Amino acid sequence: AQSVSQHNHHVILSEAASLELGCNYSYGGTVNLFWYVQYPGQHLQLLLKYFSGDPLVKGIKGFEAEFIKSKFSFNLRKPSVQWSDTAEYFCAVNAPMDTGRRALTFGSGTRLQVQP
């Protein structure tokens, strides 16, 4: 079974600071990796996804993530955060090619608070 760890539960940054949110997963096979964001009062939205190819993935709103297979990691980064990035961020994984299961396994989330 897969599991996802997000070690940073609550991060507080000032505007223009750089962001890196950690995500580690436990499955050793072929995985698809996702970062979802939930802005206050809104539903989950996809930021970016990785399934193959270039391990550096670029998403919306200036976010990017790097898949490092040897470290089982998929950390989310943004060089300069804005107040509007205040939200909860969830890392998720599935492995349908290996397991046939399409269900996503989510981490517990990281709450990002950006101070103006």
**Interface positions with other proteins (CB under 8 A):** 4, 6, 32, 34, 36, 42-46, 49, 51, 90, 92, 96-97, 101-109
The phi, psi pair for 57, rounded to 5°, reads: -110, 135
14 vs 30, beta carbon nearer other proteins: 30
Nearest CA among 30, 15, 19, 25 for reference residue 89: 19
42 vs 70, beta carbon nearer other proteins: 42
CB of 97 to other proteins, least distance (A): 6
Alpha-helical (H) ranges within the chain are: 96-99
CB of 25 to other proteins, least distance (A): 12
- The answer to whether 109 and 6 are in contact (CB under 8 A) is yes
